Structure 1
């Protein structure tokens, strides 16, 4: 996917964490960035709205969902996959 999309995803997550986008690294976990469960829900809603996608409701259960929220890199990859699936 495009660097522009990755940048926008980082901006959305950074906004929820009240950080600069550069601080949202691929290996950072939501917890490490100070994003609690409510913040993660808000970030998911923002990502859905920005990219016109539907993130599975069970994204917070890795064993039950293909949408991995364990790290920022995993979240970016999952959003890219959903956007690509929608375009196909």
Structure 2
């Protein structure tokens, strides 16, 4: 399940950044991938829809969010936790 989540998130982010999924690494930040704030919000909406979850993210003040968007690894880990919490 975890690998499926990881691959789906990479595909969503890659689509937003107009890249190939293999170009999206765990250490890539949204900025590294050329994703601006609007693109990040669109990607978050797509992730929420793909996994039927609600991501606690404040686009206006991302530093005040419980959802760490600093790099793809932290985004993937946070989504995995939300999916696991939903399944429990």
Partner of 1:58: 58
Backbone CA RMSD of aligned residues: 1.3
What does 1:16-35 align with in structure 2 at a 5 Å threshold?
Answer: 16-35=16-35
Structure 1 residues 10-49: aligned runs within 5 Å: 10-49=10-49
TM-score, structure 1 length as denominator? 0.92
Task: Return the alpha-carbon distance in structure 2 between the equivalents of residues 31 and 49 of structure 1.
Answer: 23
Return the structure number with greater helix share. 2
Instruction: Give, in angstroms, the shift of residue 4 of structure 1.
Output: 1.3
| 1:65 Cα deviation from its structure 2 partner | 2.1
How many residues are aligned here? Answer: 87
Gaps of 5+ in 1: none
